[in-house]
Structure 1
Amino acid sequence: MTIQYINHADQLPALCEQISQEPWIALDTEFLREKIYYPKFCLLQIAAPGWVACVDPLSITDLGPLFTAIYNPSITKVLHSCRQDLEIFYQLTGRIPEPIFDTQIAAPLLGFQENPGYAMLVSSFLNINLNKAHTRTDWSARPLSDDQIQYAADDVIYLCKIYTMMCEQLDKLGRLNWLDNDFALLNDPELYQLSPENAWLRIRGKNKLTGRQLSILQSLSEWRERTAQSENKPRNWLFPDDMLLELAKLQPVTLADLAKIRNINERSANRYGKVLCELIASARQTPPKPLKEKERPIKKTHQHEAIIDVLSAVVRIRAEENSLNPVILATRNELEQLLFGEEDCPLLHGWRYNMAGRELQGLLQGQYTLSLTPDTVVIRPAVD
C-alpha cells in the first residue's frame, strides 16, 4: 500500500475528501513528552481500508481543515489505548473527536486480558510480530526516513484489520453495542484537562494524611503543576509524588529543615526551597479541601469480606457463562465499591451492569436470594 506523506498544506484538501468518504478511520499519533510537560505532536497516522496517510504537523501550521474532517460525528474514530492521543486532540482543539472505538477496551469482550498491548493484538489477530526498531525514535527530528514512515503507517494499517475482525466477532456474540457506555466516558473533558487545583487528586497515599498534612500536599501539588506547566517540564522533574508526600508529613518551614530531608533533589531544593517553605508555612494554617467519602479508607469487617466473597462467586459464574475472564467483569476492588454504594462503580454502568451488576445490586438490596446445590449456585427473585 502506498503511503501518502502529507507535509504541505495544499495536500490537505484531497486527504480531507478521502476521510469524508469513510464510515470509520483508524488513527494514531507519534509524540514526545519525556522531557517536557505538554506532549509535542510530531506525526498523525490515518488509515481506512485501501489507503493510509502520515501527516506532518511540524510542517503544516494550520491543521484546522483536517481536524474538521476527522471530527465529523458520522465517522467512527478507531484507536488503541486512546487516552494520550485524545489528550493531544483536546489540547489542540479544545474538543474531543467522537464517536470513538478503542480496541484496547473492546478486546476483553473477546477473551483477552484487561488492557492488552497493541503488539499482543497484532500477534493474536494477524499473526504478525511488530517491528520494534523505531520504538525509541525521536519523532521530532526531520527528515523522517522511509523506514520510520513505514513503521508509523503500519500501526494504523494493522489497526484497520484488527477493527474489522473485532467487529465481526463482537457482532456474532451480540456484544457490538455493549461498549457504547465505555466509549462515551472517553468524551469527558475532565479526563484531559490539566487543572493545577485538582493535581493533588492524582497522588496515591493522600487519604492517609492528617488534615494539616493534606492541606500542605494540596498546596504543593498545585504549585508543582503550575510550575511544570509554565516551565514546560515533567512534574516529576521538579519533585516526584513520594517527595511531596514526605514534605507534607515532615513540614519543613526553613531551608535548614528542608536540607535535612533524605533523597530530596538538591538542585530543585536550592532553586525552589524558599517558595516551598513559604507554601508549607501558609498551608499549615489553612483547612484542607475535603476528601470525598470514597477516598477515605473504609475499615472492612469480616462480614464485609464474606459478602464480597459471595459476590465474587456470582461474578465467576456469569463470566464463565459468557466466556470472559472474571477480572474483566469485576475486580474485588470493584465489588467493594458496589458494596459501599459508590455510584461510579463500573458494575453499575454499561454491559457490566446488564451482565452482572443489576443482579449483584439486587442481592445486596434483598431483591434476590441465593441458594446452593452440589453443582451450582442458584439466584432467584426474593419472595415476600
Structure 2
Amino acid sequence: MHDHGLIETPEALQSFLDTIAGTDWIALDTEFMREKTYYPRLCLIQLATLDQIACVDPLQLDIKLLEPLLFDAGVTKVFHSASQDLEVLYRELGRVPAPVFDTQIAASMLGHGEQIGYANLVKAILDRDLDKSQTRTDWARRPLSKEQILYAADDVRFLATVFMRLLHELESHDRMHWLRPEMEALSDPGLYEPNPEAAWQRVSGAKRLKPRERGVLKAVAAWRERAAQASDRPRRWILADDILIDIARRTPEDTAALHQLRGFPDGMKPPRQEELLEAIREGQALPREEWPQLPDKAKLTEAEEVLADIGMALLRECARRNQITAGAIAQRKDVVELLKGDGTSGRLGSGWRHEIAGKTIARWFAGDGELTRTEEGLQIRP
C-alpha cells in the first residue's frame, strides 16, 4: 500500500485524489475534539483504498476540496460506526456524504454482535491487534507525531480490507438488501441537526419528574442547548443536568433563588441569568396539553408477558438459524410492539427484520400455528 503520509497542501491533496480517481469506494475516518466545545472540531481525515492511504490535515486545508469525492454518488464512503464521523462532516460541509457503508452495521448482520468496536472487528476478521496507545491523544495539537499519524492511518488501512471481506460475505449470504435501507437512513441530515426542543429527553433524571415539572425542564433544557451552541461550549459547562432537575422542581423566581441552588455557577453573567429565569417562566406557563410526555410503556397482562417471552424465544431461534445475534434484529420492546399491534408494527413489521423473524413471530401471535420442538430447534407447524 502506498502511504501518502500527512497531506497539508492543496497540491498534495490533489495528487492523492488524482491517484484514486475512478475508485467506486473509499474508506474514511475522522479524528476530532469536543471536550471543550459544543460542536466537534475536526482535526484529521483519513482516507484509503486497498492500495492508497493518506491523512488530510483540515487545520491546514479547506476540506471543501474533498467535496467532489464525498458527494460523488458513484463512490461509496465506508466508515465504521459512521454517525459521529458524519455529524462532524455535516457540521463542516452542510451536507451529509452519500452513499455510505457502515462496517459496524454490516458486521451485525453477519453475526458479529450488535455494536462491535473497530479493533475487535479487525481482530475477528483479520486477526490483527491494533495499537491503542493514542486513544486519548490531543488531535488538535500540532505538529502531529509519527506515532499519531501511523495510529490514525491504521483506522482506515485495515478498514479497507474489512469492508471488502464484509461485502463479499453479505453478497454470498444474499443480505445486501438488508443493509441498503440502514445505509440510506444514515445520510438523513435530520440525524445530525441539533434540536433544542428535544434536549430535555437527554437530561438525566427527566423520567422522575412530574408532568408539569417536565414542562419547565423542556424550556430550561432548550435554553441551555441554545446557550451552549451560541458560546460553543459543552452544555454541562452552562448548567449541569442535576441543576436543571433542581430548577424544574423548585422553579426559582429570581436571581437570589437561583444562587440558592446547590452547585449553581457563581460566574454566570446577569444577562444569562435573566434568560434562564425567562425560560423558567416560559415552562411554567405551558398549558397542560403541551407538557412533554414520556413514551408510553406498553402495559402487559400476565398472559401477555408469557406470550412476549415466547416471542423472544422465537426471535432467538430465528437469529440462531440465520447465524446472527438476536439483539442485532430486535429488542423485547419490538416483540411487544408486534404483539400489541397488527403484525406489521415497528421494526419487526417490515423489511429484513420481518423477513427473517417478524413474520414468524407475528404468525404465532396470530394463532396460526403450533409451537413444537424438533431436532433443528423451535418450529411452528400449522
Aligned residues: percent identity?
Answer: 37
Residue number in structure 2 paired with 1:185: 185
Residue number in structure 2 paired with 1:35: 36
Aligned residue runs from structure 1 range 1-384, under 5 A: 1-4=1-4, 5-61=6-62, 63-203=63-203, 205-268=205-268, 272-287=272-287, 289=290, 291=292, 295-341=295-341, 345-364=346-365, 366=366, 368-373=368-373, 377-380=378-381
**SS of 1:261 mapped into structure 2:** coil
* Superposition deviation, residue 259 in structure 1: 3.8
* Superposition deviation, residue 243 in structure 1: 3.1
Amino acid at match of 1:174: D
Contact 1:253/1:278 (CA < 8 Å) preserved in 2? no
Q: Structure 1 CA distance, aligned partners of 2:235 and 2:2?
A: 41
Q: Structure 1 CA distance, aligned partners of 2:214 and 2:28?
A: 41
Alignment gaps of 5+ in structure 2: none
Q: Structure 2 CA distance, aligned partners of 1:124 and 1:267?
A: 50
Contact 2:196/2:225 (CA < 8 Å) preserved in 1? yes
Q: Structure 2 CA distance, aligned partners of 1:93 and 1:349?
A: 34
Q: Structure 1 CA distance, aligned partners of 2:205 and 2:90?
A: 29
Q: Structure 2 CA distance, aligned partners of 1:332 and 1:269?
A: 47
Contact 2:33/2:43 (CA < 8 Å) preserved in 1? yes
1:109/1:299 CA distance change after superposition, 3 Å: same
* Superposition deviation, residue 109 in structure 1: 2.1
1:74/1:290 CA distance change after superposition, 3 Å: farther
Q: TM (normalized to structure 1)?
A: 0.89
* Superposition deviation, residue 27 in structure 1: 0.1
**SS of 1:299 mapped into structure 2:** coil
Output one character per residue of 1:137-179: Cα deviation in whole Å (capped at 9) or x when no partner. 2111112122211111111001011111112222232223321
Amino acid at match of 1:252: P
* Superposition deviation, residue 298 in structure 1: 3.7
**SS of 1:81 mapped into structure 2:** coil
* Superposition deviation, residue 3 in structure 1: 2.2
- Deviating more after overlay: 322-331 vs 230-239: 322-331
Q: Structure 1 CA distance, aligned partners of 2:258 and 2:345?
A: 40
Alignment gaps of 5+ in structure 1: none
Contact 2:77/2:101 (CA < 8 Å) preserved in 1? yes
* Superposition deviation, residue 339 in structure 1: 3.2
- Deviating more after overlay: 238-247 vs 2-11: 238-247
* Superposition deviation, residue 119 in structure 1: 1.0
**SS of 1:37 mapped into structure 2:** coil
1:213/1:58 CA distance change after superposition, 3 Å: same
CA RMSD of aligned residues (A): 2.6
* Superposition deviation, residue 272 in structure 1: 4.7
Contact 1:216/1:284 (CA < 8 Å) preserved in 2? yes
Amino acid at match of 1:243: I
